[in-house]
């Protein structure tokens, strides 16, 4: 007998094996036959389920029934387990994948299954009731934050998973800020309430204190730790249980236990008061009747969630099959569809005017390429379609470059599996094969109506390693592999060091580069040696200074002339370098100013101290001189490059190093050891807070001092402390230390 779940119904197949007396079959053979029969049945049902979803899309799912959501969280909050349960209860998968035994469907890379962590964002499409969900499971480790960044950029809503024991953690804050940046409405799911030390109220409180959020519980738990029995639905005022014998698939509604009645009524009262403020109609009804209907409450919650005025909070334990179906209901009820968010806006290339695209098939085709994935049969380009339709074989254009592309095939992804589609339309998240020139962040449009959408911003790399092929035969293959990986991952870079001739790879952390190295060996079959990790330093301007340069040469039989004067200054408040033009636009052709800016950007790629990239620097164009028939774009590019280099040399430039936010969670008896060690690492120790029965030490430390810290932390705490860290800023390196780094 086997259990198969589809659309909240458990189908039980009973297979009776009839054996004639004349035939002898061993018990092993009998089991083998049963296994074959079961798998045939499962394949048939899987096929039927897939056809239903595909037919639903084919006949046109209303745009209001589509949800584009991401699952985001700190590492180990249970994000992938939540996703696996969603796949199971929705009928997308016939079995529950588990992270701990390497069977999670969404963690399909060998590295992910070996390590038990999510490394790359995986997409899938599933059906819940009459809604279609495009879901992306994102990594929780800070080294792979770019996967979260580019996913949130194209999503309409998100589920943030918090650990019921730890509450808001370091990476929780990071993903929350990323969602804020892209104005993504969120639902919170407090997970792991069956764990020792779980505290629902403390986890909700940490959302207010650390995220400045406005959490609104819609469910509260009945029992915690080993006694976690289920949740109380504050809208229906029912106690929901999820019997283990039904693997959580059947939800049993009971009356609220007497011990929880008072708390539930107080929470319900608070919920209604908050919802009444959603609009004037609800407020008037609340003031008149002192109560709102269930439909009123759901409408109000949805309105407030989409406006990002509240964050609905649900709870349960994914591992023990509690609370997932109510989460799916909440996703469909409260998170926006593509038509509930503002139309996407972009810039028309030729005119520079802003236009918008509505999520309809009638509007011109417009999509964003947000992820590239190497594939033996052709690279997969993941697209979020904002308007219009794309059909197999269609010719489209990269709006930024004007290059033509052709979508040879369209695929609906389910982690590493795929289903071919004839076309896709507004609100869809699909993958396309056949695009040769498209890179992450490119906008793909129709030829007649190009539009450039704003690109996602990715953090700078903070760590680098030297790499070299083991044999000459591997050299070309290694460079090809690195080029493909860089095209795939916007936070991975490689270059040849001008001074040493070494090949340098750079990334977001030790784990990031270790994964890259393993992929080069495993996926691309290239053997390479790799050096120890080292910090990726930066440079910045010191004192305000002026640089002036004249470029005057004869090239190709033509005189080339340009004279430029610039000013450089340190500007820590800048996220990126900035160029200010003080030259009146009517005194010099705009193409010369564009060429000047190009030269400035080129110069800032290499500073005067160690050739590191220049950051936090503002360059002002003070003066330019031109000669008729001699001044050219080439001359202005060269002159501006020279002028900036002179200004940087005169500015007493500073070396910059990456600073990390460090969070160490430890039993109280080891706090002193942890703080003393951090102080020895040039760290600034900040707040020390109590979290459950543990202490959390917050600090800011230079990355250069944190290599190998995992081993040290275990040694200082008898293996009982854990830590996380993420880049937060660059800071000036003290002169004495900078001189040592630079070899002075």
Q: Which residues pair with 216 in a beta bridge?
A: 312
Question: What mean pLDDT do residues 654-683 have?
Answer: 93
CA distances to 152, 532, 708 from 486, rounded to whole Å, are 20, 20, 26
**Per-residue pLDDT reduced to its tens digit, 360-412:** 999 999 999 999 887 777 789 999 999 999 999 999 999 999 999 999 999 99
Q: State the DSSP H helix or E strand holding residue 294, giving kind and residue range, or none if neither.
A: helix 294-306
Q: How confident is the model at residue 558 (pLDDT cuts 50, 70, 90)?
A: confident
**Residue holding tokens 């290694």?**
478
For residues 97 and 550, give the distance between their C-alpha atoms in angstroms, rounded to a whole number: 66
Q: Going by C-beta distance under 8 Å and a sequence separation of 6 or more, which residues neighbour residue 446? A: 364, 365, 366, 388, 396, 397
Which one-letter DSSP state was computed for residue 203? Answer: H
For residues 705 and 90, give the distance between their C-alpha atoms in angstroms, rounded to a whole number: 47
For residues 334 and 583, give the distance between their C-alpha atoms in angstroms, rounded to a whole number: 51
pTM given for the model: 0.76
**Per-residue pLDDT reduced to its tens digit, 113-138:** 777 778 888 899 999 999 999 999 99
Q: How confident is the model at residue 678 (pLDDT cuts 50, 70, 90)?
A: very high
pLDDT value for 622: 94
Give the other-Cβ count within 10 Å of 476's Cβ: 11
pLDDT value for 607: 93
pLDDT value for 51: 37
Q: Is pLDDT of 225 > 80? A: yes
**Per-residue pLDDT reduced to its tens digit, 165-223:** 989 988 888 899 899 999 999 999 999 999 999 999 999 999 999 899 999 999 999 99
Task: Compute φ and ψ for 514, nearest 5 degrees.
Answer: -65, -40
Q: How confident is the model at residue 490 (pLDDT cuts 50, 70, 90)?
A: confident
Task: Compute φ and ψ for 460, nearest 5 degrees.
Answer: -75, 150
**Per-residue pLDDT reduced to its tens digit, 60-94:** 679 999 999 999 998 889 989 999 999 999 988 87
Q: Is pLDDT of 161 > 60? A: yes
Per the structure block, which two tokens stand in for 262? 């008072």
Question: What mean pLDDT do residues 572-587 have?
Answer: 85
**By the 8 A CB rule, do 742 and 654 touch?**
no
Q: What is the mean pLDDT of the chain?
A: 86
pLDDT value for 587: 81
Which one-letter DSSP state was computed for residue 608? Answer: T
Concatenated DSSP letters of 681-730: TT-EEEEEEEETTEEEEEEEEEGGG-TTHHHHHHHHTTT--EEEEEEEEE
For residues 268 and 282, give the distance between their C-alpha atoms in angstroms, rounded to a whole number: 16
Order of all β-strands in the sheet with 66-73: 122-128, 131-137, 66-73, 157-163, 186-191, 311-315, 215-217
- Closest by CA to 422, choosing from 687, 156, 54, 127, is 54
pLDDT value for 290: 73
Q: Going by C-beta distance under 8 Å and a sequence separation of 6 or more, which residues neighbour residue 656? A: 537, 538, 539, 540, 612, 615, 616, 730, 731, 732, 733
pLDDT value for 53: 37
**By the 8 A CB rule, do 530 and 464 touch?**
no
pLDDT value for 49: 39
**Per-residue pLDDT reduced to its tens digit, 12-70:** 443 333 333 333 444 445 545 554 555 545 444 444 433 333 433 444 679 999 999 99
Q: Is pLDDT of 533 > 70? A: yes
Length of the chain: 744
Q: Is pLDDT of 619 > 50? A: yes
pLDDT value for 499: 64
pLDDT value for 100: 67
Q: Which residues pair with 546 in a beta bridge?
A: 567
**By the 8 A CB rule, do 173 and 211 touch?**
yes
Which one-letter DSSP state was computed for residue 242? Answer: -
pLDDT value for 21: 35
pLDDT value for 200: 96
**Which of 150-164, 235-249, 454-468 is predicted least confidently?**
454-468
**Per-residue pLDDT reduced to its tens digit, 365-376:** 999 999 988 777
5 compared with 334, residue with greater pLDDT: 334
pLDDT value for 60: 63
pLDDT value for 473: 82
Q: Which residues pair with 37 in a beta bridge?
A: none
Q: Is pLDDT of 534 > 90? A: no
**Per-residue pLDDT reduced to its tens digit, 715-741:** 898 888 888 888 888 999 999 999 999
């Amino acid at each position: 007998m086997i259990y198969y779940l589809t659309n909240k119904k458990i189908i039980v197949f009973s297979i009776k094996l009839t054996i004639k007396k004349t035939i002898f079959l061993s018990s092993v053979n009998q089991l083998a036959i049963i296994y074959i029969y079961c798998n045939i049945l499962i394949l048939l049902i899987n096929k039927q389920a897939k056809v239903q979803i595909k037919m639903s899309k084919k006949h046109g799912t209303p745009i209001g029934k589509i949800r584009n959501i991401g699952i985001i969280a700190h590492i180990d909050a249970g994000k992938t387990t939540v996703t696996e349960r969603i796949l199971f209860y929705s009928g997308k998968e016939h079995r529950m994948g588990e992270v701990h035994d390497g069977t999670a469907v969404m963690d399909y890379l060998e590295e992910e299954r070996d390590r038990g962590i999510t490394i790359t964002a995986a997409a899938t499409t599933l059906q819940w009731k009459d809604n279609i969900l495009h879901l992306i499971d994102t990594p929780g480790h800070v080294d792979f934050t770019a996967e979260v960044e580019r996913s949130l950029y194209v999503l309409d809503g998100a589920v943030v998973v918090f650990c019921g024991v730890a509450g808001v953690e370091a990476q929780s804050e990071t993903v929350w800020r990323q969602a804020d940046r892209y104005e993504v409405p969120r639902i919170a799911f407090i997970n792991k309430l069956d764990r020792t030390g779980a505290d629902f109220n403390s986890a909700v409180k940490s959302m207010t204190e650390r995220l400045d959020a406005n959490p609104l519980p819609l469910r509260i738990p009945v029992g915690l730790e080993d006694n976690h029995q289920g949740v109380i639905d504050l809208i229906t005022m029912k106690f929901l249980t999820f019997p283990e014998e039904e693997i959580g698939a059947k939800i049993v509604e009971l009356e609220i236990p007497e011990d929880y009645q008072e708390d539930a009524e107080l929470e319900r009262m608070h919920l209604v008061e908050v919802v009444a403020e959603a609009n004037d109609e609800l407020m008037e009804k609340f003031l008149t009747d002192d109560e709102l209907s269930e439909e009123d409450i759901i409408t109000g919650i949805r309105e407030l969630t989409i406006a990002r005025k509240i964050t609905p909070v649900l709870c349960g334990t994914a591992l023990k099959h509690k609370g997932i179906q109510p989460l799916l209901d909440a996703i469909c009820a409260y998170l926006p569809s593509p038509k509930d968010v503002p139309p996407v806006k972009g810039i028309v290339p030729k005119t520079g005017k802003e236009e918008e695209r509505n999520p309809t098939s009638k509007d011109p085709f417009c999509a964003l390429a947000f992820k590239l994935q190497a594939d033996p049969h052709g690279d997969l380009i993941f697209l979020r379609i904002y308007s219009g339709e794309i059909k197999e074989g269609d010719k489209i254009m990269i709006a930024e470059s004007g290059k033509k592309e052709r979508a040879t095939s369209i695929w609906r992804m389910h982690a590493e599996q795929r289903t071919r589609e004839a076309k896709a339309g507004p609100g869809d998240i699909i993958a396309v094969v056949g695009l040769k020139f498209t890179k992450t962040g490119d906008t793909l449009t129709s030829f007649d109506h190009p539009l450039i959408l704003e690109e996602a911003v990715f953090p700078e790399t903070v760590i680098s390693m030297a790499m070299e092929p083991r044999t000459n035969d591997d050299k070309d293959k290694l460079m090809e592999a690195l080029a493909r990986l860089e095209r795939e991952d916007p936070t991975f870079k490689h270059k040849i060091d001008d001074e040493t001739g070494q090949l340098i790879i750079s990334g977001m952390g030790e784990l990031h580069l270790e994964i890259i190295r393993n992929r080069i060996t495993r996926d691309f079959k290239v053997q390479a040696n790799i050096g120890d990790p080292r910090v990726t330093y930066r440079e910045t301007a010191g004192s305000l200074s002026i640089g002036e340069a004249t470029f005057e040469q004869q090239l190709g039989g033509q005189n080339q002339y340009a004279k430029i004067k610039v000013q450089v200054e340190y500007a820590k408040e800048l996220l990126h370098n900035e160029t200010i033009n003080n030259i009146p636009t009517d005194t010099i052709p705009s193409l010369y100013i564009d060429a000047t800016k190009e030269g400035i950007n080129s110069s800032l790629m290499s500073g005067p101290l160690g050739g590191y990239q220049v950051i936090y620097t503002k360059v002002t164009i003070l003066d330019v001189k031109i000669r008729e028939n001699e001044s050219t774009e080439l001359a202005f590019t060269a002159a501006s490059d020279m002028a900036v280099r002179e200004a940087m040399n005169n500015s007493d430039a500073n070396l910059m190093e990456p600073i990390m936010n460090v969070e160490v969670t430890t039993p109280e008896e080891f706090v002193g050891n942890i703080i003393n060690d951090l102080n020895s690492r040039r760290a600034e120790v900040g707040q020390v807070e109590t979290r459950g029965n543990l202490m959390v030490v917050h600090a800011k430390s230079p990355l250069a001092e944190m290599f190998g810290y995992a081993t040290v932390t275990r040694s200082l705490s008898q293996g009982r402390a854990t830590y996380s860290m993420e880049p937060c800023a660059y800071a000036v390196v003290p002169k004495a230390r900078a001189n040592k780094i630079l070899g002075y």
